[in-house]
């Protein structure tokens, strides 16, 4: 049954909603939809319970607000007390010394998908099952919360039926970027049902698992499977959480996540595969100057959008740009993406694409993405060659720091090579912004036949 009341005051044109029930429509003005459909709000009406919306075929009509959920951005929480999938025994080990109110939260082992709150009281540990009911969390089935954060805050201010109030968390070590809670994907309207996704052939292998071609309610999709939940869970969900905040025609669109036994990240299907493979397999005879400038401009347009949001991609390369059936290039692979400037040690980077200051000092900014964009331009105009041919990987950094730069690929327009050279300025400040480069590429695109 549809929800009685929804607060629709904040719903804006262009917001996305996901349908929770089938709606056949009652009059000709209505837009019929089925559970699982994605719609975009066109505008509110004088009645807060009805909105004008558009479906994926571009058809517009009226929809009842209580049949749909607004999609919200999933953000990272600082949840230092969340320890993920640890056992009951491990939790008890961590809760030392046994002071009243010392607590942590873990994923439930007996009830997959649920959580457990573990609290010390009188030298013992109590384990409270946190149930998920209708996208909300509860311990006593009396008080309900939207997030783990909210639940912890509540029981910190008041024991409210627990053995004690929560006083001090056992903090998880090495967790500086915050955690993503599965619950936020649920309440944010991003979870799609496993039975709505039909899996087809295997089309790729990722770091975290296999990528399948599939369909989601008839629409072609790619479904990336998380293989090892213990190991990759947080990074995988972090990639999905970054994607919930992004919407641009040159970024691969997140359709939703499947949660359960196996976790899938479901995105729009990019029929022509990765840009690097596309360039290599078609080559000079098929790919035109126009195609190349289109790929470059599309990619730059997405990067300009990320730059405007201070989001650093960190892994920009032709292998992480995908090509749609209609030829549009879209940036993907936000596995390493982070907001703001940051540094991080002990990670392995794709050396030939990574800026010198990132390799040396682990500093990643939109300017280091610009360096990678220069390499991507080189790949594009050399039809997918591996950068720095003939230089052994171990020597690349040394050569680059001494001032060596790749030559222009054969047939590369002078204006493009000049962008590459500026992207490879040793001083990050001397490199152009994506905004500037986009202007130049747009112009070049308009004069390329
Ligand atoms: P990871 O970065 O985790 O290693 P990717 O996201 O790069 O994994 O995916 C691996 C491969 O799967 C890609 O190189 C591409 O060939 C294929 N692939 C991934 N996403 C899509 C998609 N949306 N459409 C078509 N193919 C895809
Ligand atoms: Mg990849």
The pLDDT score that the predictor gives to residue 175 is 44
Beta-bridge partners for 66: none
> From atom 10 of ligand 1, which residue's Cα is the shortest distance away?
206
What is the share, in percent, of the chain residues with pLDDT greater than 90? Answer: 68
pTM of the model: 0.78
pLDDT in tens, 372-391: 999 999 999 999 999 999 99
For 75-228, list the strands marked E by DSSP: 102-107, 115-121, 124-133, 136-138, 168-169, 197-205, 210-216, 219-226
Name the residue with higher pLDDT: 340 or 422: 422
Q: Which residue out of 263, 272, 273 has the highest number of ligand 1 atoms within 8 Å of its CB and is therefore the one to mutate?
A: 273
Ligand 1 in reach of 335 Cβ (< 6 A)? yes
What is the residue-averaged pLDDT of the chain? 90
Mean pLDDT of 202-212: 86
Burial class (CB in 10 A: 0-12, 13-18, 19+), 390: exposed
Fold of 16-70: SH3 type barrels. (2.30.30)
Architecture of the 190-268 domain:
2-Layer Sandwich (3.30)
Tell me: domain 275-447, CATH 1.10.1660.10, correct? no
290 is in an annotated binding site: no
The pLDDT score that the predictor gives to residue 345 is 42
Name the residue with higher pLDDT: 79 or 165: 165
pLDDT in tens, 263-321: 899 999 999 999 999 999 999 999 999 999 999 999 999 999 999 998 899 999 999 99
pLDDT in tens, 391-443: 998 899 999 999 999 999 999 999 999 999 999 999 999 999 999 999 999 99
| pLDDT(346) > 50 | no
The pLDDT score that the predictor gives to residue 339 is 60
Please, are residues 222 and 250 in contact by the beta-carbon 8 Å criterion? no
16-70 and 275-447, same CATH topology: no
The pLDDT score that the predictor gives to residue 227 is 77
> From atom 6 of ligand 1, which residue's Cα is the shortest distance away?
333
* Phi-psi label, residue 164: left if phi above 0, alpha if psi -120 to 50, beta otherwise: beta
> From atom 20 of ligand 1, which residue's Cα is the shortest distance away?
222
C-alpha 291 to ligand 2 mean position (Å)? 22
The pLDDT score that the predictor gives to residue 340 is 53
Q: What torsion, rounded to 10 degrees, do the Cα atoms 322, 313, 407, 410 define?
A: 10
pLDDT in tens, 127-154: 999 998 877 899 999 999 988 888 999 9
The pLDDT score that the predictor gives to residue 209 is 81
SS3 319: helix
Query: Domain 88-176 is classified in which CATH homologous superfamily?
Result: SH2 domain (3.30.505.10)
Cβ density class 241-254: b for 16+ within 10 Å, e for less = bbbbebebebbbbb
Pairing type for strands 168-169 and 102-107 reads parallel
pLDDT in tens, 41-100: 999 999 999 999 999 899 999 999 999 999 988 877 677 898 888 999 999 999 999 999
User: Which residue ranges make up each domain of the chain?
Assistant: 16-70, 88-176, 190-268, 275-447
Catalytic site positions: 315
């Amino acid at each position: 049954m549809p929800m009685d009341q929804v607060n629709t005051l904040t719903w804006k044109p262009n917001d996305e909603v996901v349908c929770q029930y089938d709606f056949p429509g009652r009059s000709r003005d209505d837009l019929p939809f089925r559970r699982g459909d994605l719609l975009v709000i066109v505008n509110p009406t004088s009645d807060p319970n009805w909105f004008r919306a558009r479906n994926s075929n571009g058809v517009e009509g009226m929809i009842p607000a209580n049949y749909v959920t607004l999609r919200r951005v999933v953000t990272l929480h600082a949840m230092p007390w969340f320890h993920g999938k640890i056992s009951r025994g491990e939790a008890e080990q961590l809760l030392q010394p046994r002071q009243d109110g010392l607590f942590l939260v873990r994923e439930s082992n007996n009830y997959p998908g649920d959580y457990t709150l573990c609290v010390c009281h009188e030298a013992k540990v109590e384990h409270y099952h946190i149930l998920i009911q209708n996208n909300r969390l509860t311990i006593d089935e009396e008080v309900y919360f939207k997030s783990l954060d909210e639940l912890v805050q509540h029981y910190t201010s008041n024991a409210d039926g627990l053995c004690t109030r929560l006083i001090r968390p056992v903090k998880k070590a090495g967790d500086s970027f915050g955690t993503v809670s599965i619950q936020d994907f649920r309440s944010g309207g991003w979870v799609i049902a496993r039975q709505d996704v039909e899996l087809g052939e295997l089309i790729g292998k990722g770091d975290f698992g296999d990528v399948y071609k599939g369909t989601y309610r008839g629409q072609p999709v790619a479904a990336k499977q998380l293989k090892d939940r213990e190991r990759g869970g947080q990074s995988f969900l972090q990639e999905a959480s970054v994607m919930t905040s992004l919407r641009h025609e040159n970024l691969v669109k997140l359709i939703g996540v499947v949660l359960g036994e196996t976790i899938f990240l479901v995105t729009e299907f990019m029929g022509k595969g990765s840009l690097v493979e596309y360039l290599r397999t078609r080559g000079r005879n098929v790919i035109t100057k126009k195609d190349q400038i289109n790929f470059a401009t599309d990619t730059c347009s997405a990067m300009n959008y990320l730059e405007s949001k201070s989001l650093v991609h960190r892994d920009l390369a032709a292998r992480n740009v995908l090509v749609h059936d209609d030829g549009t290039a879209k940036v993907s692979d936000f596995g390493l993406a982070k907001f703001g400037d940051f540094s991080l040690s002990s990670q392995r980077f794709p050396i030939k694409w990574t800026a010198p200051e990132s390799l040396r000092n682990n500093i990643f900014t939109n300017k280091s993405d610009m360096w990678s964009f220069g390499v991507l331009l080189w790949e594009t105009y050399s039809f997918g060659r591996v950068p720095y041919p003939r230089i052994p990987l171990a020597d690349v950094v040394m050569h680059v720091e001494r001032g060596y730069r790749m030559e222009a690929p054969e047939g590369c327009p002078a204006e493009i090579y000049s962008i590459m050279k500026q992207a490879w300025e040793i001083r990050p400040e001397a490199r152009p912004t994506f905004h500037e480069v986009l202007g130049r590429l747009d112009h070049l695109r308009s004069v390329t036949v």
